[in-house]
Amino acid sequence: MQRRMRILDSIAKPTDLHVLSVAELGILASEIRAQIIDTTSKTGGHVASSLGAVDIIVALHSLLDAPKDKIVFDVGHQSYAHKLVTGRADVFDTLRSYDGISGFPRPSESVYDTHPSGHASDSLSVASGLAKAKQLNGTDERIVAVIGDAALAGGMAFEALNYIGSQQLPMVIVLNDNEMSISRNVGALMKHFGNIRATSQYRDAREQLQEMLEGGGRTSNAFAEFGKRAKESMKQMFLPQSMIYEQLGIVCTPPIDGNDIGVLREMLELVLPVNGPVLIHAVTKKGAGYGPAEEQAERFHGVGPYNPATGTPLSQGGPAKTATQVFSEALVREASADGRIVAITAAMEGGTGLKAFRSAFPERFIDVGIAEEQAVAMASGLAIAGKKPVVAIYSTFMQRAIDQMAVDVALPNLDVVFALDRAGLVGDDGPTHHGVFDLVYLRMLPNMKVIVPSSEQRLSDAVHTALRLNGPVAIRYPRGSAEHDDYDDAIAPELLEVGASRTLREGDDAAILAFGRMVSRSLAAAELLAADGISARVVDMTWAKPLDEEAIRAAAATRLVVTVEEGVVAGGVGEGVLEVLSRLDSKTRAITLGIPDSFVLQGKSELLLHDLGLDAEGIAAAVREGIA
């Protein structure tokens, strides 16, 4: 049976939405949700956040003239509807796939993507630059930033709000208030939003707004009139909790239904002409329009393939344990024996495996929200007070707290453990989420020790070891299912010797010094080389800092030294090995394998590793060339 023609099929560019009625826009929104569910059930993706933002995006594009007018998304995983109405509907089935379209805005992919949004709380800063340029140039484009309530609690967002209000920048901020980040939001600001939604004054202000809209007001003067009429209700609503945005010089609307396109359009028509900053408080439902995502918003924040009828995940096969789960079990075991251990995360309790810790030790679990700088600096205070803080954050997000790691932790040489999940290539989320820079920013810090376990059992050993060392220690481990069968939670963890590697295979022609999950691939490469008559030693280096200089000295006795790391080569651990070889005055040829000086796009990790020459075949080919 032939599929009926959808409105979505007729949308070639976002201005095509201008001719649609509110009812037709509602139908389009339903079609977009159906397409998101159909596609992500096969590809996986950020489902709940994108479903919740559909109506906001449809309403915006029905009034804006993109790409002249600019939409800046915060994080960007809420932008699937934006992709569908900006000429990418016919390739949407390639979402997050190798050689497909990104799961985040990407300017190189479309002129409608203003900014490569991938990390939270930066949209207001980027949009403020666009709005300032508008002021300087005297142009008339409209600037809109879409930011979630969790991202708005980030320090960078507050820095931007302060500047936007002080300069009265002409821009609209759409606050997508869905009460969620990756995990449920925490903090005083989140309570503030909740209090606003619960007040009778909120309902009164909404009724006044509706009366104003029904009166036909469509100009900045009409908006000013609405402001006067709602002023007292606004004061009652925000005070004594504080009229935080008004105090910063930003007009803030009362909360409106962010999943009602008609209400959104009417509000946007009022505020877009205003020559100053306005914040629209849009209350949305994360996962709106899809029952499983509404009921399990945290799980549907980012999922793999699933059954669209039920929302249940499709089996991915492979071992049951992931590195994250092994870390979780190891930390709970250690905390059971040591009451000084405290776990800290930044709005990713589930993603970092800390749910079990929170369940076992709720009083020792801390979620600071999307505020990595706060997490690290707070850990320093806890360490000063005699606690043993473990900061569990994704590698790519830990980049946001490098200064705190340096000044607040490394400089005073405090006992803080950094657990960097998702280190290396993360696959489908692409360049904003690959954890490929941590070996550089960790190794450059004095006093920092860095463990790179090659297996799940070694990860368990690393957690055990890190909590017994003096000074800061970082452990980096990859995303996804375990690749080894050596882990047994019944086996007592071992204390790793600082800076000591282990030789897993002997060889005289070449020495492969491997880090992390590159060890298993290096062993496979050695098997391929053996078939060619090349004898390759494989060393599990284990420590990126300090390096095992004796192992490097021994490697220099072969014809070729090859380092293999799942991180950038520039400034990486391979360059650290070259430094040691230089001090040894070694004449042995050396090759560093890793991520080249370019950003890596999305795709399954194994495909990306193959392209980068970091699989067994690529490593073997590099060795063959090196000793030829």
CA 565 from chain centre, in angstroms, equals 22
The secondary structure element, H or E, covering residue 251 is strand 251-252
CA 263 from chain centre, in angstroms, equals 31
Query: 3-state DSSP call for residue 143?
Result: strand
CB 153 within 8 A of CB 180: no
Give me the phi and psi of 427, to 5 degrees please: 90, -115
Please name the residue that has the structure tokens 């810090």: 445
The secondary structure element, H or E, covering residue 130 is helix 123-137
Catalytic residue among 206, 400, 476, 537: 400
Residues 425/430/433/435 CA torsion (nearest 10 deg) = 20
Is 400 designated active site?
yes
Query: CA neighbours within 13 Å on the CB side: how many for 294?
Result: 7
**Whole-angstrom Cα distance, residue 501 to residue 367?**
35
DSSP code for 546: S
**Whole-angstrom Cα distance, residue 499 to residue 459?**
15
CB 217 within 8 A of CB 267: no
Strands (E), 92-202: 143-148, 172-177
Is 527 designated active site?
no
Please name the residue that has the structure tokens 């209400």: 263
**Whole-angstrom Cα distance, residue 421 to residue 554?**
32
**Whole-angstrom Cα distance, residue 529 to residue 32?**
51
The dihedral through the CA atoms of 320, 324, 326, 328 has a sign that is negative
Is 449 designated active site?
no
The full DSSP string for 285-350 is -TTTT-HHHHHTTTGGGSB-SB-TTT-PBPP--S-S-BHHHHHHHHHHHHHHH-TTEEEEESS-TT
Residues 232/235/236/239 CA torsion (nearest 10 deg) = -160
Residues 6 or more apart whose CB falls under 8 angstroms from that of 68 comprise: 141
**Whole-angstrom Cα distance, residue 501 to residue 513?**
9
Query: CA neighbours within 13 Å on the CB side: how many for 436?
Result: 28
Q: Is the peptide bond before 67 cis (omega within 30 degrees of 0)?
A: yes
Catalytic residue among 31, 266, 298, 372: 372
Please name the residue that has the structure tokens 């820079």: 437
Instruction: Please identify every residue annotated as catalytic.
Output: 286, 372, 400
